[in-house]
Amino acid sequence: MLELNQVRKDYRDQSQTVTAVVIDKLCVKAGAQLALVGPSGSGKTTLLHLISGLLTPTSGEIIFAGTNISGMSERWRDSWRATTVGYVFQRLNLLPSLNIVDNLLLPMSFAGVIPEQERRQWAIKLLGIVGLADRINSRPQRLSMGEQQRVAIARAIVNKPRLILADEPTASLDHDNSILVIELLRQLAQENNSILLVATHDRQVIDQFPQVYSLGRTEGKVNTGAVCGSLA
Ligand SMILES: Nc1ncnc2c1ncn2[C@@H]1O[C@H](COP(=O)(O)OP(=O)(O)OP(=O)(O)O)[C@@H](O)[C@H]1O
């Protein structure tokens, strides 16, 4: 279970403060799958960064499986993220100097969840599941955008994380690949009973999800979140 209580994130620089996220209460049960929607600038990326522990809230708490992750040290959050969170970044962040198997092996070695002797075989199996069995020796830049997106998804779930976060994972995909990528994410999340949160603008992606959580701005004010339980 993921729970956010009175979470607020402000970005501050010398001249101004931007309030990016204000959520009164949000609860997401294990296994729930949500589309995270809202206009550009409404705080979707910030919220995913907060939930993953990449950012900490200005105030409020983010609790996952009973632990207040936002109250932990950066070092603790880094190791928690390695084992618990799979993140498909907006810019993918695949490592260009490594082939796609090694792109999957790296987060496995950080996390230490999968036994060392099983890692390569598991990486190759996952790349097969996402339809890239014949490209395992390729570097990311040799692949199409859709193929790279599928590598990013395989990498995000390689440690069987309980929390899968994806930021606009279909932004550069055509209709068919977009459907495929979301189906894959949903299927892989379901197999591990993981929470899946996908930030998207895409109507077609939203329609593939059973639940939607909206972030939005009205009259210059950030909306507060849904009532706890409405998403459970
Ligand atoms: N590092 C930062 N410093 C200052 N302001 C920031 C920073 N990152 C984001 N913001 C601001 O916070 C608000 C929310 O940004 P965020 O990227 O989370 O929105 P988003 O909904 O993901 O947008 P998009 O759909 O365009 O990707 C925006 O007003 C943005 O300008």
Nearest of 196, 153, 144 to residue 174 by alpha carbon: 144
pLDDT, residue 116, reads 97
pLDDT, residue 177, reads 84
Residue 146 and residue 181: Cα distance in Å, rounded?
Answer: 8
Residues in the ligand 1 pocket, defined by CB under 6 Å: 11, 18, 20, 38, 40-46
pLDDT, residue 217, reads 53
* Ligand 1 atom nearest to CA at 38: 21
pLDDT, residue 29, reads 95
The DSSP bridge pattern shows strands 59-64 and 67-68 to be antiparallel
Q: Whose CA is nearest to atom 17 of ligand 1?
A: 45
pLDDT, residue 21, reads 95
Q: Residue 10 carries which DSSP code?
A: E
Residue 65 and residue 1: Cα distance in Å, rounded?
Answer: 5
Residue 173 and residue 38: Cα distance in Å, rounded?
Answer: 20
Segments in the chain forming alpha helices (H)? 44-52, 74-84, 100-111, 119-129, 145-157, 175-191, 203-207
Count other Cβ atoms within 10 Å, centred on residue 222. 21
Q: Which domains does the chain possess?
A: 2-222 (3.40.50.300)
Q: List average pLDDT for each run of 10 residues in the chain, which is 232 residues long.
A: 96 92 95 95 96 97 95 95 93 94 96 96 94 95 92 94 95 85 91 95 93 72 43 44
* Ligand 1 atom nearest to CA at 42: 21
* Ligand 1 atom nearest to CA at 43: 18
Q: Residue 140 carries which DSSP code?
A: G
Distance in Å, CA 196 to ligand 1 centroid: 21
pLDDT, residue 180, reads 87
Q: Whose CA is nearest to atom 29 of ligand 1?
A: 41
pLDDT, residue 99, reads 97
